[in-house]
């Protein structure tokens, strides 16, 4: 077994999603710890502070839920609103690839932080993409709650009636002599009947007083998780779960890795450009006669000629 890393930015358990179960109850959840992955995503954009925090929370949430995919697909999260920030978008693929971004700002957001001040009234949409030959599943609900965690809880309450508790945190940390780097973390717990058991959802799934008590205790413990605990590089996932659930007991399962990875490539962009006429392509060119495209997710630059073909450097 390899020795645990002692690097501040590369601790065991970073960039992972770790499933857990509270004792032998139907309360199951996942802890997300993001370090290098979220720093790579957010540094590529240099969003205003409040926007970066929302994008980071979206990345944590989609990772927590996407890690439960049991097929080669993708979970896409889109949160849109009528505020100065029109949209936050994140997606997680079954192989652990994560990406996230935000829409172009409508106005100055200097000093604005939080879900409502930035997004205003809107909706949350989650899409399960099972591939080109399979039908997509999509759920859409009004944006509910004052924080991103409350909006996530509200989504499951409205769309699938699954009792849910969640806490998310995003922040920049540094050590002496080094620049700040982004970290993000979160915990999501749900009351989920075991496979083969009763499939009722919502309050109907809490069949007994013991189940209701177990869920209410677990939800309260999740709600007690502090932001600094969720992003502390010196606090392991196991230690965090022990702090929260040691009174009832918790089973921790093998984590799955997360990495910042974008699916953009020149071929996909060429396919889009092929839909335009020669005159339309000419209008897209810049001063040197090339067409420049920058990926909205990873900010990777691409250059194409007037014929829509990639220019090799």
Note whether 146 and 293 are same-domain residues. Answer: no
Structural domain includes residue 11: no
Note whether 218 and 112 are same-domain residues. Answer: yes
* pLDDT number for residue 194: 56
User: pLDDT tens-digit profile of 227-267?
Assistant: 999 999 999 999 999 999 999 999 999 999 999 999 999 99
**Residue 22, beta-bridge partner list:** 250
Question: For residue 1, what pLDDT band results from cuts at 50, 70 and 90?
Answer: very low
* pLDDT number for residue 205: 55
* pLDDT number for residue 266: 93
* Domain stop point among 241, 260, 279: 260
Q: Which of 78-92, 196-210, 219-233, 248-262 has the lowest mean pLDDT?
A: 196-210
Structural domain includes residue 184: yes
Highest mean pLDDT among 122-136, 200-214, 231-245, 284-298: 231-245
Structural domain count, the chain: 2
Note whether 97 and 201 are same-domain residues. Answer: yes
What average pLDDT does range 119-148 have in this prediction? Answer: 91
Note whether 52 and 200 are same-domain residues. Answer: yes
Per the prediction, the chain carries an average pLDDT of: 90
Structural domain includes residue 5: no
Note whether 54 and 182 are same-domain residues. Answer: yes
Structural domain includes residue 208: yes
| Domain carrying residue 291 | 266-304
Note whether 284 and 190 are same-domain residues. Answer: no
Note whether 299 and 236 are same-domain residues. Answer: no
Structural domain includes residue 1: no
Structural domain includes residue 313: no
Note whether 110 and 242 are same-domain residues. Answer: yes
Structural domain includes residue 309: no
* pLDDT number for residue 5: 40
Note whether 142 and 250 are same-domain residues. Answer: yes
Structural domain includes residue 23: yes
Note whether 250 and 279 are same-domain residues. Answer: no
Q: Which of 17-26, 110-119, 125-134, 216-225 has the lowest mean pLDDT?
A: 125-134
CATH of residue 22's domain is 3.55.30.10
The structure tokens 């700040």 sit at: 180
Note whether 183 and 270 are same-domain residues. Answer: no
Model confidence, pTM: 0.90
Question: For residue 136, what pLDDT band results from cuts at 50, 70 and 90?
Answer: confident
Q: Which of 36-50, 128-142, 179-193, 199-213 has the lowest mean pLDDT?
A: 199-213
Note whether 221 and 96 are same-domain residues. Answer: yes
């Amino acid at each position: 077994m390899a020795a645990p890393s002692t690097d501040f930015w590369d601790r065991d358990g970073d960039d992972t999603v770790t499933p857990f179960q509270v004792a032998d109850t139907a309360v199951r959840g996942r802890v997300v710890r993001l370090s290098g992955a979220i720093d790579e995503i957010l540094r590529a954009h240099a969003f205003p502070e409040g926007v970066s925090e929302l994008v980071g929370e979206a990345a944590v949430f989609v990772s927590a839920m996407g890690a439960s995919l049991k097929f080669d697909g993708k979970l896409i999260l889109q949160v849109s609103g009528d505020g100065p920030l029109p949209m936050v978008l994140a997606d997680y693929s079954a192989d652990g690839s994560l990406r996230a971004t935000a829409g172009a700002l409508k106005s100055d957001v200097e000093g604005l932080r939080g879900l409502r001040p930035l997004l205003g009234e809107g909706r949350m949409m989650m899409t399960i993409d099972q591939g080109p030959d399979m039908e997509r599943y999509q759920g859409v609900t009004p944006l509910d709650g004052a924080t991103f965690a409350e909006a996530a809880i509200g989504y499951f309450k409205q769309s699938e009636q699954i009792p849910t508790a969640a806490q998310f945190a995003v922040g920049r940390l540094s050590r002496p002599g080094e620049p700040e780097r982004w970290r993000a973390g979160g915990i999501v717990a749900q009351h989920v009947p075991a496979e083969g058991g009763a499939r009722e959802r919502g309050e109907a799934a809490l069949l007994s007083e013991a189940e209701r008590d177990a869920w209410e205790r677990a939800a309260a413990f999740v709600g007690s998780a502090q932001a600094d605990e969720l992003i502390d590089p010196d606090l392991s996932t196991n230690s965090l779960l022990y702090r929260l659930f040691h009174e009832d007991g918790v089973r921790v399962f093998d984590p799955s890795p997360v990495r910042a990875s974008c699916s953009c490539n020149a071929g996909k962009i060429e396919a889009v450009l092929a839909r335009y006429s020669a005159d339309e392509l000419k209008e897209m060119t810049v001063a040197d006669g090339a067409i420049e495209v920058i990926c909205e997710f990873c900010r990777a630059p691409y250059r194409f000629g007037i014929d829509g073909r990639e220019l090799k450097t």
